[in-house]
Chain A
């Protein structure tokens, strides 16, 4: 158990809908990272937050947004969902601001039908 909690574990939703994925980092970790893993695109970095502030952005679509709250948990919001958004979404956390020994959650499997 990495100590990073992601909910829900599985999510099935229809195209055009909006969903929110939640991540609770390990106790004491200030950084939260979001990744998307799909068969065709591999593991893609989406966004990084450190202590509530956005630090780096990757290949995150405009339909996606994220935030990190004062209690350091993070949410990834996906809207106007398309079939191609079906993927495994990972959250990771670390103590450092830079990418270091990050601990990954078990992921949320999103299926858009």
Chain B
């Protein structure tokens, strides 16, 4: 069975601080995908990144970066120089490679204060 754990329920930072959201996963599959989604107060889910289990390269996109470590089954997400607009619930998710069965973590609520 697949499982995704986001141990941090809530994080509060002051604007311009860096913040890392942790994600640990469990799966028996050798091929799988990992994702991060953002759910702002407006409610819709916004795709941020997908990572293939064979690709352990870290990725940077603007102020966002992701650290995938297969050895520790972790896929952490860092926001550099956080902004108030980053305030949202962030979900880490894991899916089978072939079909769309996915498992989401419980989410981390990030509050960035001015």
Chain A contact residues, CB within 8 Å of chain B: 2, 31, 33, 42-45, 48, 50, 55-58, 88, 90, 92, 97-107
Contacts and interface: CB of A to CB of B under 8 A. Distances in A.
B62 interface: no
Majority secondary structure, A binding face: strand
Given A97-B99, A98-B95, A98-B98, A104 B104 contact: no
B43 interface: yes
Interface string B59-79: 000000000000000000000
Interface stretch (B15-23, B44-52, B80-88): B44-52
B43 A48 contact: no
Given A33-B100, A99-B102, 17 more contacts: A33-B102, A43-B91, A43-B104, A44-B104, A45-B100, A45-B101, A45-B104, A48-B101, A58-B101, A98-B95, A98-B96, A98-B97, A99-B99, A99-B100, A100-B33, A104-B45, A107-B44
A57 B99 CA distance: 10
B104 A42 contact: yes
Contacts of A88: 43
A111 B1 CA distance: 31
A88 B39 CA distance: 13
